[in-house]
Amino acid sequence: MRSLTFNIAYWFLSIGYGLTAAFAALAPGRDATAWVIRRYVKRMVQAMRVFAGIRIEVRGKERLPAGAFIIASKHQSWGDGFATYDQFDDLAFVTGDHLEKFPLLGTVLKKLGAIVVNNCGGREARDSLKQSGATAHAEGRKILIYPEGNLAKVGEKFRYRSGVWHMYRDFDMPVVPLASNLGLFWPQEDFAKHPGTATLEFLDVIPTGLGKEEFLARLESVVEARTAELIAEARGGSVVPNVLVPTPDEVRKAAARAQ
């Protein structure tokens, strides 16, 4: 009943605010659209608490540097974006092109200055990151990216993609790793929700100037290690390292080669 109630609220809020944001996108500039989306995010986090019983505890905000930076986050839940976006007044974010299939959403994403990339990655995705990311960087905005590029199950991880490093290098911006155990309470895109207190934790800043291999290894190590610790903390058990699994795209390509 709890999950049903939340999902009704989810679609009610999404449709209502989505239509409002689409109308707001007709106004010049992005202030009107951004205002609507901020209200939408706050109402969604509130609905998570009231209807699904999921409270969000945020740790480590004192570690956030001044000015613009990149947030590189673990991604276990469709709720990650709401919970993280709610922590900032103005946040650019990297999202897959699958969201553009929803009516009017492409227009809203463009107006917000979202960085829309091809889910399959590759050169096209890197070019989109560079072009759209440069605009956000020039505006002094913080940028949220999910380096794995996919929603991972609790206890699993995907290979970290290099897009985050290209932004880190090209824009000379520090990166703030973000660990989360929200997937325990709102798993991936699942209908079922589980009450409890989910934790987002901003970790120590990764300064500029690192090489690609060193940067990606450091980012993956700290995010995955702390995520595993947060999961163990919520479950009251021992820490179990996340297991590397192939991405959905890698599974499809392997199946195609096997035919």
What residues does each domain of the chain span? 55-258
Give me the helix-helix angle, 105-112 and 31-50, nearest 10°: 110
| Average pLDDT of the residues in 6-24 | 93
In the chain, the percentage of residues whose pLDDT exceeds 90 is 65
CB atoms inside a 10 Å sphere around CB 18: 18
Cα separation, 141 vs 35, whole angstroms: 15
Q: Residue 78 corresponds to which tokens in the numbers above? A: 């469709």
Cα separation, 178 vs 70, whole angstroms: 10
* pLDDT confidence of residue 203: 98
Average pLDDT, the chain: 89
Cα separation, 170 vs 125, whole angstroms: 15
Backbone torsion region of residue 216, taken as left when φ is above 0, otherwise alpha when ψ lies between -120 and 50, otherwise beta:
alpha
More confident residue, 137 or 254: 254
pTM: predicted TM-score of the whole model, two decimal places: 0.90
Nearest Cα to Cα of residue 148 among 169, 162, 133, 132: 162
Does residue 180 register a pLDDT over 60?
yes
Q: How confident is the model at residue 131 (pLDDT cuts 50, 70, 90)?
A: low
* pLDDT confidence of residue 107: 77
Sign of dihedral through CA atoms 213, 179, 70, 27? positive
Q: Residue 151 corresponds to which tokens in the numbers above? A: 């929603």
* pLDDT confidence of residue 109: 81
Can you tell me whether residue 173 is helix, strand or coil? Answer: coil
Cα separation, 166 vs 180, whole angstroms: 23
Distance (Å) of CA 189 to CA 1, 79, 182, 183: 17, 8, 12, 9
* pLDDT confidence of residue 251: 87
More confident residue, 44 or 29: 44
CB-count exposure of residue 186 (10 Å: 0-12, 13-18, 19+) = buried
Q: How confident is the model at residue 201 (pLDDT cuts 50, 70, 90)?
A: very high
For domain 55-258, give the CATH number: 3.40.1130.10
Residues in the chain: 259
* pLDDT confidence of residue 4: 94
Chain position carrying tokens 């995520």: 227
Q: Residue 178 corresponds to which tokens in the numbers above? A: 């973000």
Of 36-40, 76-80, 139-143, 206-210, the one with minimum mean pLDDT is 139-143
Cα separation, 115 vs 125, whole angstroms: 10
